[in-house]
Amino acid sequence: MKPQDIIAGKTSLWIFGYGSLVWKPDFKYQRSKVGYIQGYKRRFWHGDNFHRGNDELPGRVVTLIEDDDETTWGVAFEVAGSQLEESLKYLNVRETVCGGYMTKMVDFFPEGKDQPPVQALVYIATSDNPLYLGPATSEEIGAQIAMSRGKTGHNLEYLLRLAEFMRSSCPHVEDNHLFSIEATALTMVSYLLAAQ
């Protein structure tokens, strides 16, 4: 789905973030809402050789994997007017060109009573992407994250900020994948610091 196809005939658009967008959207928006999408689980299965890693040691960032029984919590941002085209141009570079993600429209369910779902754009990296790393144990993923750094910063920052978002904005949601990787990465970092 190309940006011009997404905005055709629209005056506003919701964009769902489930990774770094939850704390660092870096585009102007009208408003944001915490909520979830259904039918997907968040996994650290995508490689990053730009923002959070490099070609020799790619970082690990999240993507969505289809799973009918799962939900993924995050933040949706509403963009309107000139923000619509500007945000999609920016995200095309950040998520598609540098990250290898594709776009899809999904139903976003805002948190709270009597909140109707809205259609939202989401960026997903699929297994046919050359940066896709696929499944690994929490220990393997945590160790890779602890060691990786890219142009935007350390991969550990990405992990810790995402975990903090989940604890502060979605305290009722247990994300075992995220929290087990966080525990492993922090243990690895403590060992590395002690070894110095």
Tell me the pLDDT tens digit for each residue of 12-56.
999 999 999 999 999 999 999 999 999 999 999 999 999 999 999
Q: Comparing 97 with 59, which gets the higher pLDDT?
A: 59
Please answer whether residues 163 and 178 qualify as being in contact, where contact means their C-beta atoms are separated by less than 8 angstroms. Answer: yes
Q: Is the pLDDT of residue 113 over 60?
A: yes
Picking from 161, 181, 132, 116, the residue whose alpha carbon sits closest to that of residue 23 is 161
pLDDT at 5: 65
Domains, the chain, with CATH or none: 3-195 (3.10.490.10)
Distance CA 15, CA 6 (A): 11
Candidate ranges 6-20, 79-93, 151-165; pick with highest mean pLDDT = 151-165
- Supply the pLDDT for residue 6: 67
Query: Which structure tokens are listed for 1?
Result: 């789905």
134: left (phi over 0), alpha (psi -120 to 50) or beta: left
The mean-pLDDT minimum among 1-15, 38-52, 133-147 falls in: 1-15
- Asked about 174 being catalytic, the answer comes back as no
Query: What pTM was computed for the model?
Result: 0.92
User: Which one of 66, 95, 111, 164 is the catalytic residue?
Assistant: 95
